[in-house]
Chains A and B, each alone.
Chain A
Amino acid sequence: MHRFWAVLFSLVPVLGIGLYVLAVVGKGSIGGFSLAGLWLPENANPYTTTIDHLFDLVHIICGVVLGITTSVLAYVIWRYADHAGRKNEAAQYVTHHALLEWIWTVIPGAILVFLGFYQLQVWADNKMNRPMQTIDGNIQAIEPMALVVGKQFGWEVYYPGPDGRLGTSDDLRIENDLTVPVGRPVVLRVEAQDVLHSFAIPGLRVKQDVVPGMTQLVWFQVDKPGTYEILCMELCGWGHYKMRARMKAVAEPLDGIANGSSTEPSSTATPVADEEVKD
């Protein structure tokens, strides 16, 4: 019987790592279900390729630790379970082993400290150091190109009006539709008007909770033209699941909107959130 349990436990490292590898490789199918698209979705944001890199790095480190520890577990069941065949073999009386303990304290400790410092730059790039640009020889922080306000259950997008400034009465307002240029840094101001929401674009690895009473900035760059899904990722009420918007990344010029040259938004408001969805 102990062999049975040993085999069962050996499935943990085998399947745990095996399924992970299958998902990362993303080829083939199981029972008609395609394995493609089970790992990180495509990332079009150069600011966050480092996030994907960290994601993979930590998974590899963790995978190694998982493999070692759970294999040891399966092995000890196989080797050290009590059964008729080893009646004369007593358990070893071992209470500690200083060298071993130092090894498995210092090595994991060093790896963890390394990880702690290694990631700081990525964090700073995405949450602290707003992108800069050079205008007339002066380096200055890029101003937000639009304001996105979360409310139950949708996103309102405001672009600067003819005066070129956000937060004035001539701003353009569009529901659930954001258009940004490809290929250069975009800064957005994000706010909430009623309860907490979270401005999230999985395809760009962007996420920022928006808090009523607070103003925050997010930044990213989209290198691939196309449509991206903006989701809400903080529980905001019963309609949380359907709170989403569309973001189009297009080549410049942004036909009329978002550069203050037009008073008529070219893309009309399309509230995606209410189509096909139960209310």
Chain B
Amino acid sequence: MSFLTKYVFSSDHKVIGIQFLISSLIWFLVGGLMAAAMRWQLAWPWSDMPILGSWLFEAEGGQISPEYYTMLLTMHGTVMVFFVVIPILAGAFGNFLIPLMIGADDMAFPRLNMMSYWFMWPAFACLLLSFASPGFGPAAGWTSYPPLAVFEEAAPGSGLAQTLWLTGLTFVGLSSMMGSINYITTIVQMRAPGMTFFRLPMTIWAMLVTAILQAFALPVLTAAVLMQIADRLLGTCFFIPEGALVGDSLVKGGGGQALLWQHLFWFYSHPAVYIMLLPAMGMASDILSSMSRKPLFGYRPMVYSILSIGGLGFIVWGHHMFVSGMQPLVGAAFMLTTILIALPSGIKTFNWLATLWGGRLQLTTGMLFCMGFIAMFVIGGLSGVLMAVAPVTIFIHDTYYIVAHFHYVLFGGTSLIVIGSIYHWYPKMFGRMMSETLGKIHFFTTFVLINCVFFPMHFLGAQGLPRRYADFTHTDSFAHLQPINEFITYSAFALVAVQVFFIVNFFGSMIFGRRAGNNPWNANTLEWVATSPPPHGNFTSPLVVYRGPYEYSVPGRTQDFWMQTDPEDADGHIAH
């Protein structure tokens, strides 16, 4: 095997997973730097940015212009959602873990899997080109609501840049679609003998439900994106109403409905919220159980919760549209379904706490990140309950309360688990351990700073501070909040800076890390049977699964773990 087929155009699910991981982490850094730039503007509006300013914004005299702010905002959201969280969960961890955890030698369709990664590259190219296109990049938010997104007259970025943005999104969609077909098939068809559905680790359940959500929701997004492309290039008017005036001159239009986009977009993007959360919940469950040396509490309710989140996830999209102009009666119905979806998330949280209770907690870095996830997810989930209350949303919709909420879920929740999972599965990926000391410093600083950045945003939101504003200092109502904005910005800079601990640890451990054995955490699931890192084909001998994944600290056994493949039964007899 040449270098090229082994590391670049590989059809090995582990290599593809690591490719997804690395490219998403690079985008994570890009998205984080964009956020830092936005925070600069929000703390000290229209001031010259030191050093970088003259280089980045030469045309504007070293300052961020309002157009540039709006573009940063759009790009930050797009990058974080479509280029970081979705690909890192399903693409990186889904790919790496699914075959290993179910005892398969690879994905069901290895070539399709390789394509799903390489379809990300046209998307990367489109996004970079759209960044660089004339009149700034796309600037209609990551939600890209028409008519703003389709009237070039209304926003310079709604020209070529928006077309490229939409094309990029189509490629991301294709990539996810190929992935999800592969994951569903693999999980249903390729489980090792004895691996019944109710012996699957939670990670796999979560990946399965996620893949199903992708498969059913994505076509709607793709259709909507193609409709928006048609509106801009082919002269259709799906989303363009009659008689719109931009700057007092009539623009092309007729007969369309601006709200239609919002329905289609959120029909995908609400399930996508769970696509961005469920795999994290699954991985958290596995790490928490093995690091507490205790069975996962309430395995079946956990599975049913994930299934019901997946199901309900399809009928709550309207909660993004309470004040959009949608019929208020429909809003009331969406409010009731949304309230219900809080329940399974609550049950999961209680089960995690019950898992920890009475355990022997191994406070590894991965475990600390998982516990940090629980704390942050509780905050983000509870503020979600507040937003489900539609009358309250009349006040807090499009304020910083929302910004606080989704960062608590996406950053405090999902991203912490992603980082924790890297610490946890790194030995399997690269055959070496990461430094625990650096890891703990990283956890401590990140955990504290995330709260410094995002907790005060609740107070900004309670004042009604609008999101997506480039400057608050000129308003009557909010100028007094500026010290908080400065505090958030200092914290955000520090938050970006402390990620250096992670970068050093990630790359340094590849060379200097202690070599990992097959099962450094004494965990039960199948990936720990394989060597670290596993060879192409994963397992050297065929596997048989004898029990569920969470048999830790079973009374009467000398070892506190009991691997799923261990043929010995409780009395020490070998099964045949």
Contact = CB atoms under 8 A, between A and B. Distances in A.
Interface residues of A, number: 103
Interface in B452-484: 455, 459, 462-464, 466, 468-472, 474-477, 480, 483-484
Interface stretch (B85-93, B394-402, B425-433): B394-402
Interface of A: 1-2, 5, 8-9, 12, 15-16, 19, 23, 33-34, 37-41, 48, 50-51, 54-55, 58-59, 61-62, 65-66, 69-70, 72-73, 76-77, 80-82, 86, 89-97, 100-101, 104-105, 108-109, 112-113, 115-116, 119-120, 122-124, 126-128, 151-152, 193-196, 198, 200, 202-203, 205-214, 216, 229, 231-242, 244, 276-278
A244 B475 contact: yes
B258 A213 contact: yes
Contacts of A34: 480
Contact of B336 (A1, A93, A116): A116
Contact of A92 (B145, B359, B444): B359
Interface residues of B, number: 112
B474 A23 contact: no
Contact of A94 (B154, B297, B397, B466): B297
Interface string B282-293: 000000000011
A264 to B, nearest CB: 24
Nearest to B551: A93
Contacts of B504: none
B378 A241 contact: no
Given A55-B462, A62-B385, A73-B353, 12 more contacts: A41-B464, A54-B389, A54-B391, A70-B378, A80-B356, A82-B293, A194-B245, A207-B394, A237-B154, A241-B468, A244-B475, A278-B46
Contacts of B336: 116
Nearest to A279: B66
Contacts of A233: 397-399, 466
B535 interface: no
A198 B66 contact: no
Contacts of B468: 235, 240-241
B361 interface: yes
Contacts of B560: 90-91
Given A95-B299, A211-B259, A213-B258, A122 B463 contact: no
B350 interface: yes
A47 to B, nearest CB: 10
A16 B256 CA distance: 46
B263 to A, nearest CB: 13
B294 to A, nearest CB: 4
Contacts of A119: 335, 389-392
B553 interface: yes
A54 to B, nearest CB: 5
Contacts of A151: 245
Interface string B322-346: 0111001101100110011011001
Query: Which of A122, A126, A200 has the most C-beta atoms of chain B within 10 angstroms of its own C-beta?
Result: A200
A135 B354 CA distance: 63
B513 interface: no
Contact of B353 (A61, A69, A232): A69
Contact of A93 (B294, B324, B329, B455): B294
A82 B360 contact: yes
Contact of B362 (A12, A82, A193): A82
Interface string B533-572: 0000000000000000010111100001000000000000
B354 A97 contact: yes
Contacts of B347: 101, 104-105, 108
Contact of B154 (A101, A195, A213, A241): A195
Interface stretch (B31-39, B202-210, B236-244, B413-421): B236-244
A104 to B, nearest CB: 5
